[in-house]
Amino acid sequence: MGRAAISSTNSQFVFPRWANYLLPGLLLALAVAVIYVPVVVGYGLAPQALAVGYRPIQPVPYSHALHAGELGIDCRYCHNTVDKAPFAALPPTQTCMNCHSMIKTDSPKLALVRQSYATGMPIHWIRVHDLAGYVYFNHAIHVNKGIGCVTCHGRVDKMDVVAQVKPLSMGWCLDCHRAPEKYLRPRDQVTNMTWDPVADAGKDQLTLGLELKRKYNIPDATFMTSCSTCHR
Amino acid sequence: MSGYQDEKLPIPTPRRLKKEFLLPGLPSPAKRILAILAALALVPLVLIWHARVSYTTEPRIQLMQDMGVQPRYGPQAPSPVYADGRAMRLPVAGTVARETYAPDDHFDRGYRLVKDPKTGQWKVDFFTDLPPQVAMSHWTLNRGRTVFNIYCAVCHGLDARGDGMINQRATELQEPKWIPPANLTQIDPQTGQLQFGPQEYPDGKLFNTITHGIRNMPAYGPQIETADRWAVVAYVRALQLAQHATLDDVPSEQRGNLR
């Protein structure tokens, strides 16, 4: 006797055969969700997705690739407070005019710079690297203890328009605060964008890093990862 | 017809799974819905991948805004409150900041004003040495080298001969307003002395030139701290010596180290 006959004679409901898929299908969907949801949340909400790659259009098309890269102007020529103050200052328009009062004096790209110089109104540069308000960050201590610009800002000397290339997240900060030897370099190489421990110091990074950590009196991980070191 | 589907615990052999993968018996609208769901599930993954490999002009999304975005102004922050857009206010005219208080003729200016007893005219008298606050030492020369290489070498060159990268660039661009920077190691043909050497260009004058600029050279007082400017003076003297040094100037025990 076929199943169709049963359902037609008795008004009893019989699950169709595909209903057998429901339970294994549900289990399978659950198993996929257990992997899928953390992947989407983890990767989607990570700073690498949300923060990295911020590249605002600046009011003046200033190219770091030309000035810092091709011409080799030191970072500190313009950001001259970086080794003395918490904030690596943006240069005043005067600094631009050091050269541009004589070079490219008619360039339309520099119209805003000339206007700013003439009127005293600042150029509204857009900040790229912006930490959360509850983070205390001091450029001077990092630069003076041998953390290179390139370590946190990437190859700015190759960027026509500056972009954020590192997550600037707490986990990322702690990676270095737990083991600064992974990134330390001699103080006089801080602004060198192409410094390499093996090629320039003849040592591998960890050996040199541990030496510099002692030499520059860098505190141990207990202090470096204490809450109040960065949240004060 | 009884198949494995009627078994109580069907063993999932590869062959059976392959058959089941096509969901036989499932009504086709249900299959379509499942296919659409699977495709939709890929959309977030593609968006995440795109967010990770592309640049954006939009600032980052801050998920937890609590105290991350604080209603306060940081250094050099813009503010709509003031007409000039600065949150940091300029000091009131005539204000002397602590670090810009300059009471010392020698250290802060490099010269003093001397009254000529005959004519009664004030004259500038440049100091010919470093001020007592700046000791001539290995440290000072090293500091001078660092500062010189950052601020001066762009035009004057690392060797102070006046052919830095900016000069090369300006020459290449044939900039009409460009005047090549001075070769600080140049010998004055009339006197046979260094044109910018200690005899013809005293330390205080060199310091004053760095501070306030001269002719086309801009002022570097705003960019370089006072003590660092003196360190540059010391280092320029070292460069002037080094660029005209002969083997006789090298102590005999050091000559083996020359390369």
A212 inside domain: yes
A164 inside domain: yes
What gap in Å lies between CA B126 and CA A139, rounded to an integer? 37
Instruction: Record the pTM.
Output: 0.83
For the residues of B23-77, what is the DSSP string, one character each? Answer: -TTS-HHHHHHHHHHHHHHHHHHHHHHHHHHS-BSSPPP-S--TTTS-SS--TT-
| SS3 (DSSP) at A227 | helix
What gap in Å lies between CA B138 and CA A144, rounded to an integer? 19
Question: Which one-letter amino acid corresponds to residue B199?
Answer: Q
pLDDT exceeds cutoff 60 at A135: yes
Residue B1 pLDDT grade (very low, low, confident, very high; cuts 50, 70, 90): very low
Q: Is A5 in contact with A12 (CB distance < 8 Å)?
A: no
* pLDDT value at residue A1: 42
pLDDT exceeds cutoff 60 at B166: yes
Q: Is B170 in contact with B164 (CB distance < 8 Å)?
A: no
pLDDT exceeds cutoff 90 at A215: yes
Query: In a mutagenesis test of the B interface, which of A28, A103, A192 is the best target, namely the one with the most B β-carbons within 10 Å?
Result: A103
* pLDDT value at residue B173: 87
**Does the beta carbon of B3 lie under 8 angstroms from any beta carbon of chain A?**
no
Give B103 to chain A, closest Cα distance, Å.
23
For chain B positions 102-141, those within 8 Å of chain A (CB to CB) are none
pLDDT digits (tens, 9 = 90+) for B62-73: 777 788 888 889
Kindly list the residues from chain B whose CB atom is less than 8 angstroms away from the CB atom of residue A105.
175, 177
Question: Which one-letter amino acid corresponds to residue B53?
Answer: V
Query: Which of A44, A45, A121 has its CB closest to that of B85?
Result: A121
A192 inside domain: yes
- Taking the CA atoms of chain B, what radius of gyration do you get in angstroms? 36
A120 and B5 in contact by Cβ < 8 A?
A: no
Kindly list the residues from chain A whose CB atom is less than 8 angstroms away from the CB atom of residue B154.
71, 73-74, 77
Nearest CA in chain B to A97: B218
* pLDDT value at residue A75: 94
Q: Which helix (H) or strand (E) holds B249?
A: none
Query: In a mutagenesis test of the B interface, which of A32, A66, A77 is the best target, namely the one with the most B β-carbons within 10 Å?
Result: A77
Give A145 to chain B, closest Cα distance, Å.
16
A29 inside domain: no
Q: Which of A204, A76, A206, A209 is nearest to A143 (CA)?
A: A76
**Total number of domains in chain A:** 1
Give chain B's length. Answer: 259
What gap in Å lies between CA A52 and CA A46, rounded to an integer? 9
| SS3 (DSSP) at A24 | helix
Residue A13 pLDDT grade (very low, low, confident, very high; cuts 50, 70, 90): confident
Q: Residues A23-29: what's their mean pLDDT? A: 86
Domain that holds residue A220: 84-89+129-230
What ipTM is given for this predicted complex?
Answer: 0.82
Nearest CA in chain B to A96: B218
Three-class HEC string of A71-140: CCCCHHHHCCCCCCCCCCCCCCHHHHHHHHCCCCCCCHHHHHHHHHHHHCCCCCCCCCCCCCCCCCCCHH
List, in sequence order, every residue forming a beta bridge with B113; answer none if it has no partner: B124
